[in-house]
């Protein structure tokens, strides 16, 4: 995977370098038998010089999992809010800690993916019905 391909694919998921690194480590605990301990600075360097060849497939798998999570969650949220009434509110989260406290079964998944899915769900409602729903951010824990 080239550096620009990685950077572009990561940006399409809506994740920062740090969020992508955390998701990568959450999903891909080992790469070639070694513990995956990468962070944002590793991802940022990969976007300049390229990721290690041993991580290519793991990166593709992580990006695919992020996209699949957003698609699945957006469909689920859409089903929950429809039929929607004008002013229906969908909760989004300001940070990972607040998200994980509210959705403990999704610990390790960046809140940005939930927020993207929520936005997609309300856009589908607006496009299909003309009903405008809103996003409301949960207050941060700290």
pLDDT value of residue 34: 66
pLDDT value of residue 49: 94
Q: Given a cut of 70, is residue 123 above it in pLDDT?
A: yes
Asked whether 92 and 33 are in contact (CB, 8 A), the reply is no
pLDDT value of residue 130: 95
Mean model confidence pLDDT for the chain: 89
Which bin fits 91, alpha (ψ -120 to 50), beta or left (φ > 0)?
beta
Q: What percent of the chain has pLDDT over 70?
A: 94
Radius of gyration for the alpha carbons in the chain, expressed in angstroms and rounded: 17
Q: What is the pTM of this model?
A: 0.82
Question: Which of 13, 7, 36, 20 is CA-nearest to residue 96?
Answer: 20
Helix 56-81 vs helix 17-27: angle between axes, to the nearest 10 degrees?
100
């Amino acid at each position: 995977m080239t550096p620009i391909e990685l950077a572009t694919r990561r940006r399409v998921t809506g994740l920062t370098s740090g969020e992508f690194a955390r998701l990568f480590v959450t999903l891909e605990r080992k790469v070639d038998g070694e513990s995956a301990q990468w962070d944002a600075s590793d991802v940022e360097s990969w976007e300049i010089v390229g990721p290690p060849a041993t991580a290519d497939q793991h990166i593709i798998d992580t990006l695919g999992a992020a996209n699949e999570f957003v698609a699945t969650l957006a469909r689920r949220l859409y089903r929950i809010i429809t039929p929607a009434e004008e002013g229906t509110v969908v909760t989004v989260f300001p940070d990972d800690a607040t998200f994980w406290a509210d959705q403990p079964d999704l610990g390790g998944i960046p809140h940005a993916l939930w927020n993207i899915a929520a936005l997609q769900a309300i856009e589908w409602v607006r496009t299909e019905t003309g009903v405008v729903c809103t996003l409301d951010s949960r207050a941060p824990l700290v």
